[in-house]
C-alpha cells in the first residue's frame, strides 16, 4: 500500500529562528512517518510585518535568517509568500495558499498539515481582553479538517481542548507528535534578550543565523 504524502507547514515570527523550531519540525516528520505517512517537505513561513508586534524586526531579515537556518536541510525550506503580504494573513489563509501551491507543484494527492505547539491549541477556546475569541472557531474547524500536527508542551493538554470544542473529525485529522526528543524550550524571546545584553547564543540556533545577526547588527 502506497503511503500518503504530506507537507508540514510551520508558521511563526522566526524572530530569530531557533533550534527549537527546527527540532519541532524534525520530531513532527519522525512521528508522522512512524504513523505511515511520507513527509516530502517542510515549510517555514515567517509572518508579515503587518502582524504588528513591536519586537518584530523586518521580514527581509527574518526570511533571510530562516533561509540560513534550513540551509543544510534536504527537506526544509523557508517561504516568503506570507511575509511579503502587505496585510496580516490569517493562519487558515496561509494554510490554504500552501495547500493550493503544493498540490499544483507536487500533485493533488499531497496534503499540507499545519504544525503548532500544544500551547497554541490551548488558545483555541480562549478570549482576548475585549471579550472576543482569540481564534475564529470556523477557521479552527477548517484547519482541523485540512490537517493539524501538534507538538505536546509541558503542562498543556491540547487533546482535552480539542475534545471540549468537539470539532468534527478532530480525532482523525489531528496528529499529536509522539516521542518528542527535546521540547521547544529555546524561545526567540530569550535569544533577543541575550543579544541585547551581548550574551552568547551559540548552540541555540544555527551558526549561519548567528553570523547573519552579527553581520547586520540585529537585536542590539
Percent of the chain past pLDDT 90, that is, above it, reads 70
What is the distance between the alpha carbons of residues 185 and 18, in angstroms, rounded to a whole number?
A: 10
Taking alpha carbons only, the member of 204, 206, 207 closest to residue 190 is 204
- Who wins on pLDDT, 181 or 48? 48
What is the distance between the alpha carbons of residues 55 and 21, in angstroms, rounded to a whole number?
A: 18
Whether pLDDT at 179 is above 90: no
Mention every residue, 6+ apart, whose C-beta is less than 8 A from residue 21.
10, 12, 14, 44, 69, 184
Which contacts qualify for 156-164: CB closer than 8 Å, 24 or more apart? 156/117, 156/118, 156/119, 156/121, 156/122, 157/118, 157/122, 158/118, 158/121, 158/122, 161/121, 161/122, 161/124, 161/125, 162/121, 162/124, 164/125
Q: Which CATH superfamily is domain 4-211 in?
A: HUPs (3.40.50.620)
Whether pLDDT at 168 is above 70: no
**Which residue bears the cell 527546527?**
22
- Who wins on pLDDT, 59 or 185? 59
Whether pLDDT at 218 is above 80: yes
For the entire predicted model, the pTM comes to 0.93
Span 79-123, pLDDT tens digits: 999 999 999 999 999 999 999 999 999 999 999 999 998 888 888
What is the distance between the alpha carbons of residues 27 and 217, in angstroms, rounded to a whole number?
A: 32
Query: Do the Cβ atoms of 113 and 7 come closer than 8 Å?
Result: yes
Amino acid at each position: 500500500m502506497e503511503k500518503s504524502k504530506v507537507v508540514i507547514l510551520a508558521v511563526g515570527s522566526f524572530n530569530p529562528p531557533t533550534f527549537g523550531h527546527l527540532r519541532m519540525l524534525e520530531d513532527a516528520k519522525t512521528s508522522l512517518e512512524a504513523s505511515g505517512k511520507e513527509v516530502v517537505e517542510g515549510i517555514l513561513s515567517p509572518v508579515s510585518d503587518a502582524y504588528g508586534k513591536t519586537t518584530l524586526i523586518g521580514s527581509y531579515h527574518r526570511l533571510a535568517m530562516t533561509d540560513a537556518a534550513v540551509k543544510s536541510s534536504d527537506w526544509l525550506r523557508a517561504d516568503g509568500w506570507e511575509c511579503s503580504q502587505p496585510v496580516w494573513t490569517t493562519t487558515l489563509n496561509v494554510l490554504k495558499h500552501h495547500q493550493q501551491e503544493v498540490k499544483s507543484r507536487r500533485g493533488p494527492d499531497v496534503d499540507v498539515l499545519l504544525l503548532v505547539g500544544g500551547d497554541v491549541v490551548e488558545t483555541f477556546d480562549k478570549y482576548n481582553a475585549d471579550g472576543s475569541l482569540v481564534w475564529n472557531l470556523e477557521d479552527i474547524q477548517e484547519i482541523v479538517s485540512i490537517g493539524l500536527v501538534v507538538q505536546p508542551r509541558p503542562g498543556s493538554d491540547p487533546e482535552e481542548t480539542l475534545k471540549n470544542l468537539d470539532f468534527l473529525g478532530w480525532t482523525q485529522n489531528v496528529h499529536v507528535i509522539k516521542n518528542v526528543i527535546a521540547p521547544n524550550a529555546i524561545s526567540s524571546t530569550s535569544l533577543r534578550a541575550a543579544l541585547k545584553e551581548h550574551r552568547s547564543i551559540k548552540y541555540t540556533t544555527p551558526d549561519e543565523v548567528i553570523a547573519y545577526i552579527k553581520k547586520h547588527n540585529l537585536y542590539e
